[in-house]
Amino acid sequence: MIKILVNEHSKSIPANMTVRKLRDQEKPDADVIVVNGYPCIEDYILKEGDQVVLIRKGEIPQMAELEALMVARHSPGVHERVKRATVGIAGLGGLGSAVSIALARMGIGTLILVDFDVVEPSNLNRQQYSIDQIGMPKTQALSIILASINPFIKIVIHKIELNRKNIPKVFHTANVIVECFDRAEEKVMILESAAESLPKAYVVGASGLAGYGDSNSIKTWRLGNRVFIVGDMIKAAGPGLGLMAPRVGIAAHHQANLVVSLLVDPDGAISKIPDMIE
């Protein structure tokens, strides 16, 4: 006998059992079979430790099973690591709202959401809010969105304006802090404050995202072993050059991807990022 996981439940099965035979025994109406994060098209002989998820399309699962189905496509071991992590999001605009949603879908254990502002109509060209949320605090609006995507993450909100004094208290539990401010002086402030008062946290910032155009000009750079910047470092927003959803979204997902990489394999992630100072 060997042991495997079926929809996150441990099960002993005979050696040499195939995944389709398992499906026929456990959930014969399942339309989708995912083995170790990948859809199984051909039959497969199961091995010790395999993770199998059986899904019937259109079925609304019980809460006890929902989380397992949501993370079925993760690489094995990723969910367990990110679920233990805490990530702080400083600013919930175009970057912060998109980063938060990406991380919620990844199953980050705790998200600390910080913003003092409310949703306004001019936000809707690039931020992840809806018309019915206009006038609502961004912390509240985004919390509602995230809870509808992934009810298993913990959301901590702070409707405040960040400064050098409160940053250490707000983010003291964060493994990674994501800087998503608009103004250059705010970006410098949080990067410096986090480096001084939260030396164990990684900081992932962004700069140079305005307009539209070359997607490949947006890159990730390293300012040290714990500070990183995403952007093209050229296109700052200003008169005649506004912020648009596509480039902001590209940068936000660069940030989210780096966050997960730092949580799962920090040494590997850091070694692949070029040093901006060189």
Residue 201, domain CATH: 3.40.50.720
Q: Is 61 in the same domain as 151?
A: no
Q: Is residue 221 helix, strand or coil?
A: strand
Q: What is the pLDDT of residue 116?
A: 97
In the 3-class helix/strand/coil scheme, how is 59-88 assigned residue by residue? Answer: CCCCHHHHHHHHCCCCCCCHHHHHHCCEEE
Find the CATH number of the domain harbouring 38.
3.10.20.30
Q: How far apart are the first and last CA of the chain?
A: 56
**Contacts for 52 with CB less than 8 Å, ≥ 6 apart:** 4, 5, 6, 7, 19, 22, 33, 34, 35, 46
Contact 154, 106 (CB under 8 A): no
Q: Lowest mean pLDDT: which of 174-183, 189-198, 229-238?
A: 229-238
Q: Look at residue 278 and tell me if it is in a domain.
A: no
Q: Is 162 in the same domain as 187?
A: yes
Q: Look at residue 261 and tell me if it is in a domain.
A: yes
Give 158's Cβ-side CA count (13 Å radius).
17
Q: What is the pLDDT of residue 237?
A: 61
Q: Is 84 in the same domain as 207?
A: yes
pTM of the model: 0.88
Q: Is 95 in the same domain as 59?
A: no
For residues 162-182, give the mean pLDDT. Answer: 95
B/e letters for 101-114, b = 16+ CB within 10 Å, e = fewer, are bbbbebbbbbbbbb
pLDDT tens-digit map of 221-259: 998 889 999 988 765 665 555 676 788 899 999 999 999
Residue 57 C-alpha from the chain's centroid: 25
Domain that holds residue 200: 79-271
- In sequence order, the β-bridge partners of residue 111 are 87, 155
